[in-house]
Amino acid sequence: MRVHYFFFLLVVMLAIATHAAQPDTESFDLEVTLMTPINHDFTMQTTVRIGQPFEIITTNGGISNKVSGTLQAPTNEVYSLALTVSEWASETMHIRDPMKLELKLGKSWAGGPVMGLIYLRWVTLRKHESHWKQK
């Protein structure tokens, strides 16, 4: 009985060690910068995984911000991202902007509603790092 238990523990430990040694190829760092009348140069960052919905909720002063979406597996090195950005300052000053983006790793997408002139968003997708680099 002890031999079976020892063998079982050995197999579990090897499986954990093997999994931990493999790089995480489906995690990415997503950075969303808002440059709008509501948020002036406000950046949010999170780690996202392919096929898993994500949500960032944060405040910037009295402004409530929410970014949510789902990243899809790449096609020809292009990642589709369904992204919704919501900014809420008051009942009369708010915006909700759903977008469908096509992103390449390390290349920023810039745009937004109203021709991208008034409500500008920068969205950048990078390979996952264990920590965010200081700017």
What gap in Å lies between CA 115 and CA 119, rounded to an integer? 8
pLDDT digits (tens, 9 = 90+) for 106-117: 999 998 776 555
Segment 55-73 mean pLDDT: 94
Q: What is the CA radius of gyration of the chain?
A: 20
Q: What does DSSP assign to residue 117?
A: T
Q: What residues contact 117, with CB distance under 8 A and at least 6 apart?
A: none
Per-domain residue ranges for the chain?
A: 27-127
Segment 119-132 mean pLDDT: 82
Write down the pLDDT at residue 19.
Answer: 47
56, two tokens = 């960032």
Sheet (strand 63-71) strand order? 54-60, 63-71, 79-88, 94-103
Average the pLDDT over each of 12-16, 28-32, 46-50, 91-95 and give the range with the smallest value: 12-16
Q: Which candidate, 89, 82, 106, 90, places its Cα nearest to that of 38?
A: 89
Write down the pLDDT at residue 124.
Answer: 96
pTM of this structure: 0.74
